[in-house]
A and B are shown apart, each in its own frame.
Chain A
Amino acid sequence: MDKLWLIIKREYLTRVTRRSFILATLLTPLGFAVFFVVVGLIFQYESDEARKIAIIDEGGIFGNTIKDEENLYFKFEDRSLESLRQQFDELEYDGVLVVPAIKDLLSQEHTIYYYAKKQPTLDIESLIRSRVSEQLRDYKIEALELDPKQLQALDTDIELEPEPIDDESEDATKLTGAIAAGIGGIMGVVMYIVVFIYGMMVMRSVMEEKTNRIVEVMISSVRPFQLMLGKIVGVGAVGLTQVAIWAILIPLVVFISTLVFGIDSNTQMEMAQEQPGGMNPEDTQAMVAMALEEFKNQNWWLILPLFIFYFLGGYFLYASLFAAVGSAMGDDLGEGQSLTIPITIPVIIAFYIMIVAIEAPNSSLAVWSSIFPLFAPIVMPARLAFSPPVWEVLLSVVLVAATSVFFVWLSGRIYRVGILLYGKKITLKELGKWMFYSD
């Protein structure tokens, strides 16, 4: 036990004190922040060149009022198009918009003209079209003597409110599904990354020890199984440390950076509101409040421990396999690549099943995959927020725990043979045989 502890300590400490680890751990959240800020700025970006557009309202549709936009100013002109054209340069207009009178109130099409030296940019074009369209609508309502309230009543928003059928069923709001999918997706992706990054880290480290020839010195002091287990646990602790730091730092840094750079989610909502049929601000606020409430309502006391369990279970299961493969590899990384494929395939399949499971968490594919131990560590965390039946979770937990213990043992049997074998190209079949070698 003492020796195992020494090995774990070394594996952990040499990694977390390495400059590359500290940099990666701190810079990744910073990278996220930069990403968010840049994306936010890009979305927020509106043309910064101020533009002036003259409007010739031939049919009096606008009634001389139109709202200016940031960097975009409208001015009604009484002068003719011809005179504006002649003085175009002196007047410093960027374009002249001609809105002809409407001949047929029932027509669904109306052509307006934009005179300019340069083509209108996409943002200006869509802005002008939506402005004129809104204005025309009001104009038509008045001209046709329609009741605006009745018209509004024609558009009906449908909300689906899930209700429990009896007292035992869970009560949910309309956002339950979306929030659960969000949580599930994030957990699934984290699991996928964890298995790959840290599993590979174990494999590389085993290979390094073998090619370094330190391994024979080591196993004259400790049992190969202790060495392998110590490495897996040590690297796993490194993974937990890193993920825990990220789980705190990434939201924090993203939050701070959005504050500093003044990008908040409202920007995107405002943009959504500008679209016809978008939500109005009250709805949005209610929605955010409901989402937060829903987020709080999740059973985190169950989800978080289970997530950590699947983190460890999935990690042990795959990292031990990676360790076994690493022990069989020679100095040449490329040569062993074919051996890692059988490990990576289930991980990738599980990832795709996880994506499907978020949309249909109770489909039989999702249910059985979250019980099958090779897929469960990635699929089950994605389903947790959808409150899967207790027996499914229990069965899955038992199977994952048993399988990871079994795989660690099995990999230990391969590992003890592999690390002492040099200069031989290893096939999968041979790996299989090693399991049955005596000590």
Chain B
Amino acid sequence: MATPILDLRNIVKAYEKQIAVNRVSFEVPRGSIFGLLGPNGAGKTSLIRIITTITRADEGEVFLDGEKLNSRHPEQIGYMPEERGLYRKMKVGAHLTYLARLKGLSAREAKDKISAWFEKFGIEDWWEKKVEELSKGMQQKIQFIATVVHEPKLLILDEPFSGLDPVNTNLIKSEIHELRDKGVSIIFSTHRMEQVEEICEHIVLINQGENVLEGRMAAVKDKFKENLFQVDYKGALPTDLLAPVSVIEQQPERVVIQVQDESDSNAFLQQLLNRGVQVTAFNEILPTLNDIFIRQVSN
């Protein structure tokens, strides 16, 4: 297996009165979109600040692309913090050039790359505009360009869609996918679970500074499934058929059941068909990430 783009080993970070991160380890696979989840105050921001070298871990080690984290690494990381802003009085072009040069690009490279992004977003005429003249959504776009302009290996996006309208949300979403396809690894931090479900391939869930859940999205869901099935049918259902299973919910022409074992669902369906029930749909109900999140966090 290829070296993971990011490898955290036993990270500990304590502040004066509390432990923000307590022995957290996980790996971010190369070229994936990785969800870093957790309720407010779980330690996500502390972790991100360690990865971006803003702060240092008290204990543990971080490896970026197989190399121990060092002071040259920020140039390979693009970080869009949740609390983000720009210098209001600066012109957009000059601002982006400044941020790009701080990431190690030459003036020439910066100009070329920013121009390419401007062209892509159709905002060529923004170059001479002052940041304060832009709407919040427009500023978010600039922020996104600032995060990716130096072509980082690892992108860390903290609540990237907050404050964006649906059109711009989609735009950024497709950019994220495009970058992933180009091989960029992306850490996506949010507590909007439906977005995670839609975008992320891997997740890690942090609660109270600890790693409580980790893995591929499908595997996580599989792990937490409760063998629930929803059956839609026409006509009536012989009541004795429901005896071996537990009924979770019953509506006219729809029933939700839970079986002991996954294979029991087949037997149940067989029974229905044998007794001439007209089944119109038979689905397994997988837990939503939201359910898993709430269940894990409230435990």
Contact = CB atoms under 8 A, between A and B. Distances in A.
Interface stretch (B3-11, B82-90, B166-174, B242-250): B82-90
Contact of B56 (A213, A433, A438): A438
Nearest to B54: A219
A220 B84 contact: no
Contacts of A394: none
Contacts of A220: 52-54, 74, 77, 79, 81
Nearest to B89: A14
Nearest to A212: B85
Interface residues of B, number: 30
Contacts of A221: 74-75, 99, 102-103
Given A212-B88, A220-B77, A221-B102, A420 B16 contact: no
Contacts of A216: 54, 81, 83-84
Interface centre among A212, A217, A221, A420 (most CB of B within 10 A): A221
Interface string A197-239: 0000000000001001110111111110000000000000000
Contact of A439 (B56, B79, B102, B146): B56
Contacts of A422: 83
A425 interface: no
B102 A213 contact: no
A220 to B, nearest CB: 4
Contacts of B146: 217
Contacts of A223: 71
A209 B88 CA distance: 10
A212 B86 contact: yes
Q: How large is the interface on A (under 10, 10 to 19, 20 to 34, 35 or more residues)?
A: 20 to 34
A218 B102 contact: yes
Contacts of A213: 81, 83-85
Contact of B101 (A6, A217, A218, A438): A6
A7 B87 CA distance: 13
B58 interface: yes
B81 A420 contact: no
B40 interface: no
A217 B103 CA distance: 11
Nearest to A214: B85
Interface in B78-125: 79-81, 83-90, 98-99, 101-103
20 contacts: A3-B102, A14-B87, A18-B89, A214-B85, A214-B86, A216-B54, A216-B84, A217-B79, A217-B84, A217-B86, A220-B52, A220-B53, A220-B77, A220-B79, A221-B74, A221-B99, A221-B103, A433-B16, A438-B58, A439-B55
Interface of A: 3, 6-7, 10, 14, 18, 209, 212-214, 216-223, 420, 422, 433, 438-439
Interface of B: 16, 49, 52-56, 58, 71, 74-75, 77, 79-81, 83-90, 98-99, 101-103, 143, 146
